[in-house]
Chains A and B, each alone.
Chain A
């Protein structure tokens, strides 16, 4: 067997092993690029308060004052300041018993109650990196293993093809297996750099899960925190012994902060550790614009004295690589248009996987009555059609479940997983060809219902209303749903056309 044939065999085996889980990770990761917009979309009650956010220092002052009054006993505060994507402050704090997550109007300081509980876009982010609701460590470890195997499948895929760039310019439509192969090549070549980078940076972010022994040997058990402190900072900030207990006024810090960071960004978030204790530290972070590393402008102060601390970043090339793996993978540097590009590449990768899976099936059509073939075709249906359907159902659940329902988040998740598993009933009852068409129609229908449902339930969230008020982050989500629904209906039409042409032959 020649080297290229070996690579082809490896590509097929590893490809089929990571195919479905890979699709889940790509799909949810691509959606997660817009998790902020989806988070906003998933809380229609706050749309009534939507206004242009004030300058970031004013938002920060409002949030700081609120927390200093209502979260005195907390271990930590975290505040993401209002910006054009999310025009509200998000406040998080944790005391001895509970974790709190509140949304605040940055103009008035009002905490927006009566807001429905929903994970919104964060659910897809969690599903992407930890296969939520699996236990965190198990989920992350599985994702890293899938990432490695996928990366090897990519490399062997490159080595398999003799004429990779020539193939890129060839697409033969309505030619069965040939069409699938061309589609696999084109999407594969287009997304290759993106996925090589994403897979490798994803693996390196969680390297300590597969190779923890180096850290354990040098830092002892549970030394991860120390390791990350050292790789991020040369001199981690040290506390002063003489500081008091009470936090300083916000103006003490804001007067020492620049209006813009060195990369032209404004203040984005701040965090207070151990507020109202002698160990209180406040950290101000500016944006990541123009930065592929996590070395954004950052200022740390002793929160009780207002004295700025030295927090020299570790700029060693290896530390920079470590920082860049996060920056590149999470895409915080990306503008809105760049996020669209990244998400589109992610979805193109999903198409590559679908084409690869169907190709695998087509090549083995003679074995269609064997159990293994049937399992593969059901898994394909479950993943490629079931996951988008379950996603549509999750969005619909966000719109139709009562606002004050107790454990609402769990019901949303239940809707997602039950509809995902439930979709398998369709191919069990009718032929696979018809089941595919039905899945397309159902998904399109659910998406359209999701867009239309606010007419009666929460009129302020109806697309015409958000459009008229130029609330683009929200209207954009609904528009994408309409666009996808139309795409699904068209796909359904073409799928029928292909089936009809086969029957006529």
Chain B
């Protein structure tokens, strides 16, 4: 990787994008089974399938965004989403 390229899209940035993609896909696979119209097992499998497809496209497409700031914002949103859902669920349990 030459220096110019690595400044633009470093392995660290790719790692954070992958992490955010994983957070989004976990959220999808967690939330979606409650809203899909099939039977329980099919809902779970289908949401995991969608989660994986989303993960792949996220990693392929998000690095293409020109604005670094927006890349970061979209990445952070995944953590907020996942953490928020987890907190709401915990509160709901008590």
Contact = CB atoms under 8 A, between A and B. Distances in A.
Interface of A: 1, 3, 5-7, 9-10, 12-14, 17, 148-149, 151-152, 155-156, 159, 200, 203-204, 207-208, 210-211, 213-215, 217-219, 227-228, 230-231, 314, 316, 318-319, 321-322
Contact of B48 (A1, A211, A316): A211
Contacts, number: 100
B9 to A, nearest CB: 5
Of residues B9, B29, B30, B45, which shows the largest number of chain A Cβ atoms within 10 Å of its Cβ? B45
12 contacts: A1-B9, A10-B9, A152-B56, A159-B60, A207-B52, A210-B26, A211-B25, A211-B30, A211-B52, A217-B33, A230-B40, A318-B45
Contacts of B11: 13, 17
Contacts of B70: none
Given A214-B47, A231-B42, A316-B42, A12 B8 contact: no
B1 interface: yes
B81 interface: no
Contacts of B56: 148, 151-152, 155
Overall SS of chain A's interface: helix
Interface in B40-94: 40-49, 51-52, 55-56, 59-60, 63-64
Contact of A203 (B32, B38, B52, B59): B52
B44 A227 contact: yes
B23 to A, nearest CB: 11
Contacts of A6: 9, 63-64
Interface of B: 1, 5, 8-9, 11, 14, 18, 22, 25-26, 29-30, 32-33, 38-49, 51-52, 55-56, 59-60, 63-64
A213 B14 contact: no
A319 B9 contact: no
B46 to A, nearest CB: 5
B29 A218 contact: no
B38 A318 contact: yes
Q: Top 4 A-B pairs ranked by shortest CB distance?
A: A230-B41, A318-B42, A211-B29, A231-B41
A131 B56 CA distance: 24
A505 B40 CA distance: 68
A53 to B, nearest CB: 38
Nearest to B33: A214
B30 A213 contact: yes
B50 to A, nearest CB: 11
A495 B89 CA distance: 62
A208 B44 CA distance: 10
Nearest to A159: B60
B41 A319 contact: yes
A7 B59 CA distance: 10
A211 B40 contact: no
Given A13-B14, A231-B45, A319-B42, A1 B8 contact: yes
Contact of A3 (B8, B29, B40, B64): B64
Given A204-B49, A217-B33, A318-B46, A10 B14 contact: yes
Given A1-B8, A155-B56, A10 B41 contact: no
A94 to B, nearest CB: 27
A207 B48 contact: yes
B30 A214 contact: yes
Given A148-B56, A213-B30, A321-B45, 10 more contacts: A155-B56, A155-B60, A203-B52, A204-B48, A207-B52, A213-B26, A217-B33, A316-B39, A319-B42, A319-B45
B1 A214 contact: no
Contacts of B26: 210-211, 213
B28 to A, nearest CB: 9
A99 to B, nearest CB: 30
B40 to A, nearest CB: 5
Contacts of A149: 18
Contacts of A17: 11
Contacts of A9: 1, 5, 8-9, 63
